[in-house]
Amino acid sequence: MVALGGSDIERLIAMLSRLPGLGPRSARRAALYLLREPQTRLAPLSRAMDSAARSVRTCSTCGTLDTTDPCTICADPERDRGLVCVVETVGDLWALERAGIHRGVYQVLGGTLSALAGMGPDDLNTAPLFARIKAGGVREVILALAATVEGATTAHWLQERLAPTGVAVSRVGHGVPMGGALDVLDDGTLAAALTARRPA
Amino acid sequence: MVALGGSDIERLIAMLSRLPGLGPRSARRAALYLLREPQTRLAPLSRAMDSAARSVRTCSTCGTLDTTDPCTICADPERDRGLVCVVETVGDLWALERAGIHRGVYQVLGGTLSALAGMGPDDLNTAPLFARIKAGGVREVILALAATVEGATTAHWLQERLAPTGVAVSRVGHGVPMGGALDVLDDGTLAAALTARRPA
């Protein structure tokens, strides 16, 4: 390793390069951007990270990350607690929130069943979901899982476990993404889109 | 703006998305990566940034960023102080250091002459270079500036100012990059490579 301006700067570059989306080259660029204005760029980001590290917690109801527990969504009286959307990750929840379609609440599994990744049923955060169902008030569970082998396996497994509870279970539709051209889509998506066809 | 897990988390995402190389999407991914392990990922990065913000300074000799002034390179007794390589940015200096070819010292201009960017001769960090030349001991100045209009203008201007000092001035060679295929190179590079041809 070549010395790039002292160990503090090297450590910063090494840590930035571990972020997803940043390689060694972009980590150096990002570090230079921050180091050029230490007081207006580097120090405020450091404080924001420190503040987030202190305040972040996992919602004990739905499993998302927030600065409060219960989270902003679970605590929101406007949200429909009878409608629970099951997602794999907090990132999926954020994507749905940005779309602004779902007016219910969530359950974040924290993963999908996967023999390769060593994720079994006990590793999924499902207990709060069943507790909520047992406590009453849940009408429908929407499974918003990825259209992958792991996602489908997890959806199937959850559906079987939810059947005895009498709660309605639905899955998100699969098909051609809005604005997506057909000729770049894979065969599986095209097959799903044809199967899910509806009268025009 | 949709609420994504509280204001601390939103602020962190907003600040990360300002880093070069990260857009809103990758900033959210990076934030999630950090927030999933606040104590082992977020807090250490915050501390590394805080430490770098406190310790970073500009070398008063060459203009690079380091935690010491003079910087590690200027303070290194093994470096040839008679050979000064002029670069535009600290990033260029780092690139040359990684290559490990230059055994002399540097002068970081902090920019190039550019009417568009409003960079005039007074905005370039050249005073320490002329002070070093005046103090004696500088044999050669290597101009390692980009092969752009701004880089060439700056090199030409510096060359004129250096001529009266009697110090030898050279420029880095331009041509086909090592490992580079010819058919993807622009005409300017190919022309430079042909002009710079040498007996095989």
* pLDDT value of residue A1: 42
SS3 A37: coil
Distance CA B171, CA B162 (A): 13
Query: What's the DSSP call for residue A139?
Result: -
Query: Residue A49: pLDDT above 80?
Result: yes
Contact check, Cβ <8 Å, B2/A68: no
Fold entry, domain B78-169: Dna Topoisomerase Vi A Subunit; Chain: A, domain 2 (3.40.1360)
* pLDDT value of residue B4: 65
Q: Was domain B7-55 assigned CATH 1.10.8.420?
A: yes
B144-to-B112, B147, B148, B197 alpha-carbon distances in Å: 12, 9, 12, 19
Of B12, B51, B64, the CB nearest to A5: B64
Short-list B30, B55, B1, CA closest to A48 = B30
Query: Do the Cβ atoms of A92 and A111 come closer than 8 Å?
Result: no
Q: Output phi, psi for B12, to 5 deg.
A: -60, -45
Contact check, Cβ <8 Å, B48/A11: yes
Q: Which CATH architecture has domain A81-171?
A: 3-Layer(aba) Sandwich (3.40)
Residues of B in contact with A6 (CB under 8 A): 55, 66-68, 72
Domains of chain B: which residue ranges?
Answer: 7-55, 78-169
Whole-number mean pLDDT of chain B?
A: 89
Digit-coded pLDDT (tens) for B147-178: 888 989 999 999 999 999 999 999 888 777 87
Digit-coded pLDDT (tens) for A65-90: 999 999 999 999 999 999 999 999 99
Query: Residue B1: pLDDT above 50?
Result: no
Residues of B in contact with A15 (CB under 8 A): 44-45, 48
Q: Residue A118 has which token pair?
A: 């060593």
Whole-number mean pLDDT of chain A?
A: 89
> Is the model more confident about A83 or about B183?
A83
Of A16, A32, A54, the CB nearest to B91: A32
Distance CA B126, CA B119 (A): 13
Digit-coded pLDDT (tens) for A131-182: 999 999 899 999 998 888 898 999 999 999 999 999 999 988 877 787 767 7
* pLDDT value of residue A198: 72
Query: Residue A116: pLDDT above 70?
Result: yes
Contact check, Cβ <8 Å, B67/A6: yes
| Chain B: residue whose CA lies nearest to A70 | B5
A6: alpha, beta or left? (left if phi > 0; alpha if psi -120 to 50): left
Distance CA A147, CA A154 (A): 11
Q: Residue B143 has which token pair?
A: 């101009």
Of A9, A30, A67, the CB nearest to B6: A67
DSSP 3-state helix, strand, coil percentages of chain B (rounded to 5)? 50, 15, 40
| Chain B: residue whose CA lies nearest to A7 | B67
Of B7, B15, B38, the CB nearest to A44: B15
Residues of B in contact with A37 (CB under 8 A): none
The stretch A3-9 carries a mean pLDDT of 75
Q: Residue A78 has which token pair?
A: 């406007």
Contact check, Cβ <8 Å, A56/B43: no
Rounded to two decimals, the ipTM of the complex is: 0.80
Q: Residue B196 has which token pair?
A: 């710079």
Contact check, Cβ <8 Å, B48/A72: no
Q: Which residues contact A105 (CB under 8 A, 6 or more apart)?
A: A61, A62, A73, A74, A79, A80, A81, A83, A84, A85
| Chain B: residue whose CA lies nearest to A29 | B20
